[in-house]
Chains A and B, each alone.
Chain A
Amino acid sequence: MASTLATAKRPLLSLPFLSPSSCELMPLTSRRSQSSYRRTKQRLRVKPDASFGPSMTQVQGDHIVYNPPSSAPSVYHTPAKFLPNDDIRRSLRTDASVTHRNSTDITSPNETPGLKRYHLNPSDVLEIRRLRTSDPLTWSRSKLAKRFDCSPLFISMVCGASPEKKEMQKQVLEAVQSRWGTKRRMAREDRKLRKESWGRDC
């Protein structure tokens, strides 16, 4: 009697074995029975994709269905641009055979690369070098890049940091890293390893 009282306290909906259609030991998933067979079958009867059927332009006879599964393209398929001029496949691969979307309406993640300006002259380069060696603390790469309106990469191509600045930067980095715990250190190492695996493609 005590057990029946305890079950009565629970909501009835959470106890599916009380429903009349299923026995006690049945799993919670629904089972197909005679009454539900037709409905389940109807749901499984999916209309085939349009690419499987014959297109309007093709004749209604024997034809080849080419519908490869979605997957990364193989690297052994050389793009037409990479084929040498004397390769016969270059002329065979026309625009009709390539079905990718028009590349102009795909957005680029970063801004479209502008044209190179070449606006700095040798005197500017000398000035960059003088500033960076005389006061490396004030004139960092980013500040120099901002002042001369070029990229930080260009600054590093023009002149390297002085050894004292490098030593100072190394000490700063060590001080920061000494505060890292095990988790952060391991996460950073894992990130580095993952980044290396991009180049191996695995």
Chain B
Amino acid sequence: MKRLQLQRWSSSVLSPQARAGSRLPRRIQHGLRYQSTNPFPVTDAEAEQLFEEEPSRSSIRPSQISKHALPSPPVEAARESAKLAALHARLYLPSRLPLETLGRTLVDESADPNANFNNESLATLGHDLLTQYTSEYLICTYPRLPMTVIFAAMYAYVGPKTLAAMTNEWGVELAAAPGGEVDPGHLQFRRLAPGTNPNETPMRTDRRWEEQTWRRSVTSKVVNDNVFGDPVRASVNPKLLAKAAAKNTAGVSAEEASAQFVRAVVGAIYLHAGRPAAKRFFEQHFLSRHLNISDLFNFSEPARDLARLCARESFEPPVAKVLSETGRLSRHPVFVVGIFSGKDKLGEGAGSSLLEARSRASVAALKAWYLYSPMNVRLPNSMEEDGAAPWKPVHVDLGEVIV
């Protein structure tokens, strides 16, 4: 497979200043900003005009703007920031990823609405990469996981809470308020106004049946919702979006801004250093986090589910047998019950009553079924490498038990 020209592709996403080896002379860049990035609130008419003249956005408007007038730090400030260089070194980022791009990943959309200077495009790419790698890993490693558990595991690996915790662990500090004079090593975003509820997002959806309190099935989540099984926001007219961005009234929570930053870092690594580096970064920073998947299960009727499973797979019906017990007539008895199908033991559980022990044993048996993992797990993204062995399909079976 021919090596892809990432540098050429990335030119549409990266701003001209951030590109390494840009042919533009440095002295033009100095003290200039390529776009109309007015930090002051723009009126609606102006915003509409801005949106209309989208094709001519890259026209150079040379005007000497002071640092304090810019909504986010200028690009050349990235070379002078000690914090940014320290973050680059601490994360062991590839040297092909310039400091300017790392500085750009730290500017949230709420701080700088200009798409050439904020991290939104990088974060979109990074989010897609993260969710693809994580879902590939989960589905290939545990091919029998129920869909709800996959959603929960996805949220645990690349959900916003995890990404915010990673930002904290990486030692990224949050700027009190965005601005051109801020050190580019700080994460810059416009904070929520005091008193607003961060969880109360305008969750209007395209589907009107979502407005009602109907029960939403897992299948509906797979088809309509995002990778975590949460409802997605309705698609909004981009004109309205541009208006809202120009008004710059709404802030974001620190969690959301941190998550966008981590996604943007992954996207930037992919663009500058290539796919192998992005995969390595994902394995070292995301897959290395410990997640006990067996804790994500919750069964309401485990014994019934196990009976259905055995009937479906044409095993003998499960029978619970007491393996050992102590203190049956005392206040704290302990029973150890095993679930047998024919001669094979499927699961074992201990409890203070026979019912509890049987229920726990059924849970253990069901978890043992769902947490089956093949021997030599190979992910589909390994096929992207040169000279990869032919692909063998992953294990697929009838799916989760539906009663």
* Residue ID in chain A nearest B376 by CB atoms: A88
From known contacts A82-B346, A109-B320, A109-B321, infer whether A198 and B363 are also in contact, taking CB-CB under 8 Å: yes
* Chain B proximity of A145: nearest CB distance (Å): 19
In the complex, the answer to whether B375 meets A78 with C-beta atoms within 8 Å is no
Contacts of B322 in A (CB 8 A): 106-109
* Residue ID in chain B nearest A95 by CB atoms: B343
A101–B324 alpha-carbon span in the complex (Å): 11
The yes or no answer to A75 lying at the interface (CB within 8 A) is yes
Contacts of B298 in A (CB 8 A): 199-200
Chain A 108-127 near chain B by CB (<8 Å), digits 1 or 0: 11101100000000000000
Contacts of B373 in A (CB 8 A): 76, 78
* Residue ID in chain A nearest B322 by CB atoms: A109
In the complex, the answer to whether A112 meets B319 with C-beta atoms within 8 Å is yes
A75–B341 alpha-carbon span in the complex (Å): 17
* Chain B proximity of A138: nearest CB distance (Å): 30
* Residue ID in chain B nearest A82 by CB atoms: B369
In the complex, the answer to whether B374 meets A81 with C-beta atoms within 8 Å is no
Contacts of A79 in B (CB 8 A): 344-347, 365, 368
In the complex, the answer to whether B367 meets A81 with C-beta atoms within 8 Å is no
Contacts of A75 in B (CB 8 A): 294, 347, 364, 367-368, 371
Name A185-202 residues within 8 Å CB distance of B.
195-196, 198-202
Which among B158-166, B243-251, B353-361 touches the partner chain? B353-361
In the complex, the answer to whether B372 meets A78 with C-beta atoms within 8 Å is yes
Contacts of B340 in A (CB 8 A): 103, 106
Contacts of B375 in A (CB 8 A): 87-89
Contacts of A161 in B (CB 8 A): none
* Residue ID in chain A nearest B307 by CB atoms: A113
A198–B367 alpha-carbon span in the complex (Å): 13
In the complex, the answer to whether A87 meets B374 with C-beta atoms within 8 Å is yes
| Contact with B360, one of A80, A89, A198 (Cβ below 8 angstroms) | A198
Contacts of A84 in B (CB 8 A): 372, 395, 397
Interface majority SS (helix, strand, loop, mixed), chain B: mixed
| Contact with A82, one of B299, B300, B350, B368 (Cβ below 8 angstroms) | B368
Contacts of B176 in A (CB 8 A): none
Contacts of B349 in A (CB 8 A): 72
Interface majority SS (helix, strand, loop, mixed), chain A: loop
In the complex, the answer to whether A198 meets B368 with C-beta atoms within 8 Å is no
A18–B397 alpha-carbon span in the complex (Å): 77
A104–B343 alpha-carbon span in the complex (Å): 8
* Residue ID in chain B nearest A77 by CB atoms: B368
Most chain B beta-carbon neighbours within 10 Å: one of A100, A108, A196, A201: A201
A79–B348 alpha-carbon span in the complex (Å): 11
In the complex, the answer to whether A199 meets B341 with C-beta atoms within 8 Å is no
In the complex, the answer to whether B356 meets A103 with C-beta atoms within 8 Å is no
* Chain A proximity of B97: nearest CB distance (Å): 37
* Residue ID in chain A nearest B345 by CB atoms: A100
* Chain B proximity of A193: nearest CB distance (Å): 13
Chain A 51-95 near chain B by CB (<8 Å), digits 1 or 0: 000000000000000000000110111111111100111000000
The yes or no answer to B302 lying at the interface (CB within 8 A) is yes
Name B361-403 residues within 8 Å CB distance of A.
363-365, 367-369, 371-375, 395, 397
* Residue ID in chain A nearest B352 by CB atoms: A194
Contacts of B359 in A (CB 8 A): 198-199
| Contact with B319, one of A73, A77, A108 (Cβ below 8 angstroms) | A108
The yes or no answer to B315 lying at the interface (CB within 8 A) is yes
Chain B 302-330 near chain A by CB (<8 Å), digits 1 or 0: 10000000000001010111110000000
In the complex, the answer to whether B368 meets A109 with C-beta atoms within 8 Å is no
| Contact with A113, one of B319, B344, B372, B374 (Cβ below 8 angstroms) | B319
The yes or no answer to B231 lying at the interface (CB within 8 A) is no
| Contact with B363, one of A81, A87, A107, A199 (Cβ below 8 angstroms) | A199
A198–B350 alpha-carbon span in the complex (Å): 10
The yes or no answer to B266 lying at the interface (CB within 8 A) is no
The yes or no answer to B338 lying at the interface (CB within 8 A) is yes
Contacts of B301 in A (CB 8 A): 199
Contacts of B360 in A (CB 8 A): 198, 201
* Residue ID in chain B nearest A88 by CB atoms: B375
A-B contact pairs, 26 of them (CB 8 A): A72-B349, A73-B348, A75-B294, A76-B294, A77-B368, A78-B369, A78-B373, A79-B344, A81-B315, A81-B346, A87-B374, A87-B375, A100-B345, A106-B338, A107-B321, A107-B322, A108-B319, A109-B337, A113-B317, A196-B300, A198-B356, A198-B359, A199-B299, A199-B300, A200-B298, A201-B297
Interface residues of B (CB under 8 A from A): 294-295, 297-302, 315, 317, 319-323, 337-338, 340-341, 343-351, 354, 356, 358-360, 363-365, 367-369, 371-375, 395, 397
Extra contacts, 18 of them, besides A84-B395, A87-B375, A89-B375 (Cβ < 8 A), are A75-B364, A76-B294, A77-B368, A81-B315, A81-B344, A81-B346, A101-B323, A106-B322, A106-B323, A106-B338, A108-B320, A195-B356, A198-B302, A198-B351, A198-B359, A199-B297, A200-B298, A201-B364
Q: 7 nearest interchain CB pairs?
A: A199-B299, A75-B367, A106-B321, A81-B344, A198-B359, A78-B372, A103-B340
